[in-house]
Structure 1
Amino acid sequence: MMQQYFVTLARYHVWATDQLLAHIEAISEAEYRQDRGLYFGSVHGTLNHMLVGERHWYARLADGVSLKMALDIELESGRDALAAALREAVGRWEKWLTDHPPQNFDRDLHYNRASGAPAVAPFAPTLGHVFNHGTHHRGQLTAALTGMGRACPELDLIYWTVAMRQAEMNK
């Protein structure tokens, strides 16, 4: 049951990221790079941080390694390359979770923080953090889009859930 829940979150994570990136494509380069008062400054800085987080947590959870990478390091300077890398990163979770042994959801995760300091956390809530982190920063970016006077997507999980159920019924 827990495994299926996380697979569902992984699918939603891909959909919500795609929806957001589609709306971000419509903004100008100046709007994309301007400091919007977000924790990571601009739309670009926030998307880049999301990619850093994806890579950190996938390495820790799926590969059992900890990357020594600052949370604000710029991984991709171009917006198309960044969007493609972020789409690829969020897309990896579903397959990994589908193949993941269910008993591992009850174990602890031992890893090193970006600073190198060791940490231990329960596996399932830590995995939940990955998807919550994405939701948090997507929320910041939708607020930034609204602040620019732009349309933003409706990204609530329930809307995706209802749409997926409807699509299943229409098959």
Structure 2
Amino acid sequence: MDLKTYFRRLADYHAWATRRLLDAHLAGLSDEQWRRDAGLFFRSVHGTLNHLLVAEHIWYGRFAEQRSLQLPLDTELHADRGELCEALLAAVDRWGRWIDTLAPARFDGALAYTRNQGIPVEVPFAPTLGHVFNHGTHHRGQLSAALTSMGFAAPELDWVYQLREATAAR
């Protein structure tokens, strides 16, 4: 499998897992549970989802728009729960369409950007794109643990579940 196809599938998984977590599992939380300090790096479900959205904007800007957005990682972009979820879903959905526009050779190149601290860096393109999706997986895992600690069932978010669904739909 070529890298473009691989990353397109990874982008599809990223959107699927985020949607599944939000729609099926986080939607049932009370406002108190939504904002409760759950011991996560960004404290609450709300804080963690805002961080995910910030990271989506930062990394999409670096990759797709060739701009380095300087935004603190704990910025609250949306105080409203519905607006936050809607914005996050829109953000994760755009990766696949963007990957479709790339030439296969692009995955062998580099990505240059400026970090939040103003430090310019250059990193390998494909592994860094992999980091974007891995970052989402990391925080979705934290959110699953928070759900479990609150007495809710955690969703099945393993990539293989999405691959089975996609295969069955074909």
TM-score tier (shorter): over 0.9
Query: What is the distance in 1 between the residues matched to 2:51 and 2:130?
Result: 18
Query: What is the distance in 2 between the residues matched to 1:140 and 1:38?
Result: 7
Q: How big is each residue's C-alpha offset from its partner over 1:49-100, in whole Å with a ceiling of 9 and x where there is no partner?
A: 0001100000000011000100111111111000000000000001100111
Query: What is the distance in 2 between the residues matched to 1:97 and 1:8?
Result: 10
Q: How big is each residue's C-alpha offset from its partner over 1:2-38, in whole Å with a ceiling of 9 and x where there is no partner?
A: 0000000111111100110011010000000001110
Comparing 60-69 with 114-123, which one deviates more in the overlay?
114-123
Query: What is the distance in 1 between the residues matched to 2:37 and 2:102?
Result: 40
Letter of the aligned partner of 1:133 in structure 2? H
Letter of the aligned partner of 1:9 in structure 2? L
The aligned counterpart of 1:67 is 69
The aligned counterpart of 2:153 is 151
Q: What is the identity percentage for the equivalent residue pairs of Structure 1 and Structure 2?
A: 53
The aligned counterpart of 1:16 is 17
Aligned pair partner of 1:130 in 124, 129, 132 = 132
The answer to whether structure 1 residue 5 and structure 2 residue 3 are counterparts is no
Give 1:166 shift.
1.6
The alignment's TM-score, normalised by the length of structure 2, stands at 0.97
Letter of the aligned partner of 2:159 in structure 1? L
Aligned pair partner of 1:92 in 79, 83, 94 = 94
Letter of the aligned partner of 2:54 in structure 1? V
Give 1:114 shift.
1.4
- The two structures, once aligned, show a CA RMSD in angstroms of 0.7
The answer to whether structure 1 residue 110 and structure 2 residue 80 are counterparts is no
The aligned counterpart of 2:58 is 56
The alignment's TM-score, normalised by the length of structure 1, stands at 0.96
Letter of the aligned partner of 1:17 in structure 2? T
Query: What is the distance in 1 between the residues matched to 2:26 and 2:35?
Result: 11
The answer to whether structure 1 residue 45 and structure 2 residue 55 are counterparts is no
The aligned counterpart of 2:162 is 160
Give 1:159 shift.
1.1
Letter of the aligned partner of 1:46 in structure 2? T
Structure 2 residue ranges without an equivalent (≥5): none
Give 1:161 shift.
0.6
Runs of 4+ in 1 over 3 A off after TM superposition: none
